[in-house]
A and B are shown apart, each in its own frame.
Chain A
Amino acid sequence: MSDPQTPNNQIPEENAGMAARGSNKITFLPPDAPLLRVDNVSTTFHTPRGDVRAVSNISFEVRSNEVVGIVGESGSGKTVLSRTLMGLQPRHGVTVDGSITFAKRYVAERGDAIDGQVPENPLVGFEVARAKESDLRTVWGVEVAMVFQDPMTSLNPVQRVGNQISEGLRVRQGMSKADAKKRAIELLTQVGIPSPEERYRAYPNQLSGGMRQRVMIAIALACNPRLLLADEPTTGLDVTIQAQILNLLEDLQRRYHMSVLLVTHDLGVVATRTDRIVVMYGGRVVECGNTRDVFYGHRMPYTEALLKSTPKISNSSHSRLQTIPGRPPDILNLPPGCSFAPRCSYATEKCHQERPELEATENEGHFFACWNPLPARKTPPATRSDASEIGVDSVRD
């Protein structure tokens, strides 16, 4: 939709991924093939106050070329989940249950082909949950990369940004220093940083917040990952810069055929930029489905409450917002039933006692966890110009 004119446009759209990945022999997964499968994942922290299950029984899939949003308030477990998916949880004090499989791409040079063939089921790939760190290192940056929330604290303040970008290229792809520099400058250009040669030598503190986030994205993209995990990539940035960064991510996602997992608390960020949404509450998935189904046909009262409590520009001034009473659950002390029950206006005795499991709706891939769901509604068709149809209807009336 948007097309920020990135100077580096020589790569034809279809072959972009191939060309950009240089000389490596790569077999692409078929479109829509699952890239990441998260199966019943729970992350438990062992603390002096007892075990804390920050993320419980999460299952979902990210297919290739897909943008999936994970939405939740603070404390809902979205950041713990994204760090778990990356295999960034510490060895000690944390237990990760379940399985996170990542379809590995076949790179002949790295010698991990099975008899020179791509495995038939691409998900016979990589198990993140139980991987050794040395194995994770072969995946980080190359297969899956992460953009963290705070670009100031995630960049190294005493290293020039150029170095931080080319480091991955030299270590992972064995580039020479000169080649890595050339590629790094190319990347800086692609993420829309003006005068990239100069910026290559800049330290993070010499850049603005938006520029730092662009550098973070350049680092993440350096080795052409197939999955980009962006954890609150625009939180703390101004609206105009946020729009720039989101457009950039979208443009790069299309150009490199990446999948993106966009973790955010802001429903506005995911509304027009994702294919599917996962709504989290109290460390669990409470609803997931196609973006439009979740926005227009949500069944879970929490999703509704979240949507209604978000202020809208189209509201008139002094319009009253619908609020959710109470506050997000204490993850140390979750209620036995539905975590949202104490704040839910539809809650019954059953909700407080028994935990609802995810239940399918008639919409494909749309699930919700609720004992007293909202009535099913038909999701309006995905067009932004329904004007003519509405016109016909009103004429009939």
Chain B
Amino acid sequence: MSETNSDKKVLLEVRDLRVEFRKGKRVVSAVAGLDFDIYEGETLGLVGESGCGKSTTGRALMLIEQPTAGTVKLGDVEITKLKGRALRAARRQMQMIFQDPISSLNPRRRVKDIVAEPIDCWRAAKGEEREKIIFDLLTKVGIDPRVYGNRYARQFSGGQCQRISIARSLAMKPQMLICDEMVSALDVSIQAQILNLLEDLKEEYGLTLLFIAHDLAVVKNVSDRVAVMYLGKFCEIGPSDVMYAEPAHPYTKFLLSAALEADPDSPRHDQVLEGEPPSPLDPPSGCRFRTRCPNATELCASTVPEMQTLSDGHQVACHFPLVPVRRSAAPAGADA
């Protein structure tokens, strides 16, 4: 999958990642075999409807959820092999920001202590140096440490809590941030502030981001590449501008046409995706989207579509992609 973009350095390498949950004899495969790379300094957006496994993917990368199979490699470290202390040390390089900013902070702790927690945990700095790091971090996320540093987390609004979460996640200077629906609980005006802040900090700290969200417009605004997920599998992955302009998977097309633009003249798509995602307890055979896909044939029911490359970095898992497959891009030229 990384035959293109060879000039970019892969930071996170994920191969055949699977997460299964067992309930009695029944198995839910929440993440059913994902292969992807995240390049250094890029933002990969991950979109999909609720229950498609995007949050589980994010958590599995951090090993908060133990993957059933597959490997996750951050730089040269294979995280999935690590345990205990070594795992904790590796996690310093990857931090997570959660959806609900208020419940992800302890309401009874002071802001500066929340931000200092990772530093204290790792005994990374003491005394004046520690104070200075906290001061700088809070200033950077737009919370004045002289005024607010001693206040409790419960005294802050959602947007401010999210700023504090960002400061906390940056305390150990991670290489990578996993943002799980970090702006979906915020008002539009606050959401824009947080997104801009994230872009600034990404630049400043040279961060690599996995940005998980359900809002396609938000994802488009922050991501270099976007992966679309349905029932635990990727449908399509590619550069965001290319993919939004020319979606190759029918599901991506439906998602885009269902998204609402704040513009009365935006085209109204009469074709709406019918039905709801099937239960992950009993996913459809073959292509998982086939039960809702208007183009589905017998082939879709019998064979799982493989990822195929359309153009540079644009891949789709569909037997009948909406964009023609570029033959010349295929490495093996065995075209019968």
The residues of A with any CB-CB pair to B shorter than 8 Å are 1-4, 73-74, 208-211, 238-244, 246-247, 265-269, 271-272, 291-292, 295-296, 305-307, 309-325, 327-328, 380, 382, 384
Residues in chain B near residue A295, CB distance under 8 A: 262-264
21 CB-based A-B contacts, threshold 8 Å: A73-B187, A240-B272, A241-B49, A241-B276, A243-B272, A244-B272, A247-B272, A268-B259, A268-B260, A306-B189, A311-B215, A312-B261, A312-B262, A315-B221, A321-B221, A324-B189, A327-B157, A327-B160, A327-B190, A380-B265, A382-B264
Within 8 A of A (CB), among B221-269: 221-224, 240-241, 244, 254-269
Given known A1-B268, A311-B192, contact A317–B220 (CB-CB < 8 A): yes
Interface: B216 (CB within 8 A) = yes
Total residues of chain B contacting the partner, CB 8 A: 50
Q: Are A267 and B268 in contact (CB under 8 A)?
A: no
Most buried by A among B190, B264, B272: B264
Residues in chain A near residue B93, CB distance under 8 A: none
Residues in chain B near residue A4, CB distance under 8 A: 272
Minimal beta-carbon separation of B233 from chain A (angstroms): 17
Q: Are A265 and B276 in contact (CB under 8 A)?
A: no
- With A and B bound together, what is the CA distance between A266 and B265 in angstroms? 16
- With A and B bound together, what is the CA distance between A325 and B196 in angstroms? 12
Q: Are B188 and A265 in contact (CB under 8 A)?
A: yes
Residues in chain A near residue B244, CB distance under 8 A: 313
Residues in chain A near residue B270, CB distance under 8 A: 1-3
- From B224, B259, B267, A317 is in contact (CB under 8 Å) with B224
Given known A240-B254, A313-B217, contact A384–B265 (CB-CB < 8 A): yes
Residues in chain A near residue B307, CB distance under 8 A: none
Most buried by B among A269, A272, A295, A311: A311
Supplied contacts A246-B260, A313-B261, A327-B160, 4 more A-B pairs, CB within 8 Å: A295-B262, A310-B188, A313-B259, A318-B222
- From B196, B222, B257, B261, A314 is in contact (CB under 8 Å) with B261
- With A and B bound together, what is the CA distance between A244 and B255 in angstroms? 12
- From A208, A240, A269, B255 is in contact (CB under 8 Å) with A240
Q: Are B241 and A317 in contact (CB under 8 A)?
A: yes
Residues in chain A near residue B223, CB distance under 8 A: 317
Q: Are B262 and A310 in contact (CB under 8 A)?
A: yes
- With A and B bound together, what is the CA distance between A320 and B240 in angstroms? 16
Residue of A nearest to B202 (CB): A318
Residue of B nearest to A75 (CB): B187
- With A and B bound together, what is the CA distance between A69 and B187 in angstroms? 17
Interface: B193 (CB within 8 A) = yes
Interface: B159 (CB within 8 A) = yes
| CB 8 Å contact bits of B186-220 with A (1 = contact, 0 = none) | 01111111011001000000000000001111101
Given known A311-B221, A320-B196, contact A240–B260 (CB-CB < 8 A): no
- From B49, B187, B257, A265 is in contact (CB under 8 Å) with B187
- With A and B bound together, what is the CA distance between A241 and B267 in angstroms? 18
Residue of A nearest to B275 (CB): A194
Residues in chain A near residue B269, CB distance under 8 A: 243
Residues in chain A near residue B274, CB distance under 8 A: 244
